Structure 1
Amino acid sequence: MNIEKAVEVIDRMRLPNGAYTASLSSDYHYVWIRDVVYTVLPFLATPSPYYEKAYQALLDLFIRYEWKIDIHTKKRPRYLYEYIHARYSTDLEELPQEWGHAQNDAIGAFLWGVGEGVHHGQKIIRSQKDLEIIQKLVDYLECLEYWQAEDNGMWEENMEVHASSVGACVAGLKAVRMLVHVEDGLIEKGEETLYKLLPRESAGKPTDLALLSLIYPYRIVSRDMALQILEDVTTTLERKYGVIRYVNDQYYNEGAEAEWCFGFPWLGLCFYELGMYDKANEYVEKTKSIITENWEIPELYIGGKYVPNGNKPLAWSVSLAYQFFKTMDVR
Structure 2
Amino acid sequence: MRERVQQGLDSLRRQNGLYLASPSDTYHFIWIRDNCYVSLSKLDQDDDEYEQMYHSIFDIWKKYAWKIAFHADRRPEAVYQYIHPRYTADTLEEIHEPWGNAQNDAIGLFLYGIGTGLQRNRSMLRDTEDANLVRLLIRYLKTLAYWSDKDNGMWEETVELHASSVGACVAGLLAVKPFFDVDFPTIREGMVSLWRLLPQESATHDVDLAQLSLVYPYRLLPKQIARAIVQRVENHLLREYGVIRYAGDRYYADNGREAEWCMGLPWLGLCHATLGNGDAARRYWEWTQRVMTPEGLIPELYLPVQRMPNENTPLGWAHSLYVILDRLVNQLP
Whole-Å separation in 1 of the counterparts to 2:300 and 2:331: 22
Whole-Å separation in 2 of the counterparts to 1:199 and 1:182: 27
Whole-Å separation in 1 of the counterparts to 2:289 and 2:6: 16
> Are the aligned partners of 1:131 and 1:179 in contact in 2 as well (CA < 8 Å)?
no
> Are the aligned partners of 2:4 and 2:297 in contact in 1 as well (CA < 8 Å)?
no
Aligned counterpart, 1:178: 178
| 5+ long unaligned stretches in structure 1 | none
Aligned counterpart, 2:72: 73
Task: Please give the per-residue CA displacement for 1:162-210, whole angstroms capped at 9, x wherever unaligned.
Answer: 0000000000000011221101110000000111111110111111000
Are 2:102 and 1:102 equivalent residues in the alignment? Answer: yes
Task: Please give the per-residue CA displacement for 1:34-69, whole angstroms capped at 9, x wherever unaligned.
Answer: 000111211112443211110000111111110101
Whole-Å separation in 2 of the counterparts to 1:123 and 1:48: 11
Aligned counterpart, 1:4: 3
Aligned counterpart, 1:38: 37
> Are the aligned partners of 1:152 and 1:159 in contact in 2 as well (CA < 8 Å)?
yes
Are 2:274 and 1:277 equivalent residues in the alignment? Answer: no
Whole-Å separation in 1 of the counterparts to 2:296 and 2:137: 35
Normalising by structure 1, report the TM-score.
Answer: 0.97
How far has the Cα of 1:330 moved from its partner? 8.1
Whole-Å separation in 2 of the counterparts to 1:46 and 1:179: 23
How far has the Cα of 1:8 moved from its partner? 1.9
> Are the aligned partners of 1:252 and 1:303 in contact in 2 as well (CA < 8 Å)?
no
Return the letter of the residue paired with 2:229: I
Alignment of 1:1-331 (within 5 A): 2-90=1-89, 91-255=91-255, 256-329=257-330
Task: Please give the per-residue CA displacement for 1:271-324, whole angstroms capped at 9, x wherever unaligned.
Answer: 010111122222122111112342221100023322100001110011111111
SS of residue paired to 2:159: coil
How far has the Cα of 1:106 moved from its partner? 0.2
> Are the aligned partners of 1:48 and 1:122 in contact in 2 as well (CA < 8 Å)?
no
Return the letter of the residue paired with 1:326: R
Mean CA deviation greater in 148-157 or 313-322: 313-322
Whole-Å separation in 1 of the counterparts to 2:216 and 2:281: 13
Whole-Å separation in 2 of the counterparts to 1:227 and 1:233: 10
Whole-Å separation in 2 of the counterparts to 1:63 and 1:7: 31
> Are the aligned partners of 1:87 and 1:95 in contact in 2 as well (CA < 8 Å)?
yes
How far has the Cα of 1:7 moved from its partner? 2.2
How far has the Cα of 1:129 moved from its partner? 1.1
Whole-Å separation in 2 of the counterparts to 1:252 and 1:303: 9
Whole-Å separation in 1 of the counterparts to 2:258 and 2:156: 16
> Are the aligned partners of 1:23 and 1:311 in contact in 2 as well (CA < 8 Å)?
yes
How far has the Cα of 1:327 moved from its partner? 0.9
Whole-Å separation in 2 of the counterparts to 1:294 and 1:122: 34
Whole-Å separation in 2 of the counterparts to 1:40 and 1:230: 23
Normalising by structure 2, report the TM-score.
Answer: 0.96
Whole-Å separation in 1 of the counterparts to 2:270 and 2:186: 29
SS of residue paired to 1:301: strand
Whole-Å separation in 1 of the counterparts to 2:313 and 2:45: 28
Residue identity (%) = 45
Whole-Å separation in 2 of the counterparts to 1:48 and 1:181: 29
| 5+ long unaligned stretches in structure 2 | none
Mean CA deviation greater in 5-14 or 88-97: 5-14
SS of residue paired to 1:31: strand
> Are the aligned partners of 1:18 and 1:53 in contact in 2 as well (CA < 8 Å)?
yes
Whole-Å separation in 2 of the counterparts to 1:275 and 1:315: 26
How far has the Cα of 1:122 moved from its partner? 2.0
Return the letter of the residue paired with 2:66: W
> Are the aligned partners of 1:22 and 1:28 in contact in 2 as well (CA < 8 Å)?
yes
> Are the aligned partners of 1:300 and 1:309 in contact in 2 as well (CA < 8 Å)?
yes
Whole-Å separation in 2 of the counterparts to 1:193 and 1:129: 32
Return the letter of the residue paired with 1:208: D
Mean CA deviation greater in 274-283 or 2-11: 2-11
Mean CA deviation greater in 164-173 or 219-228: 219-228
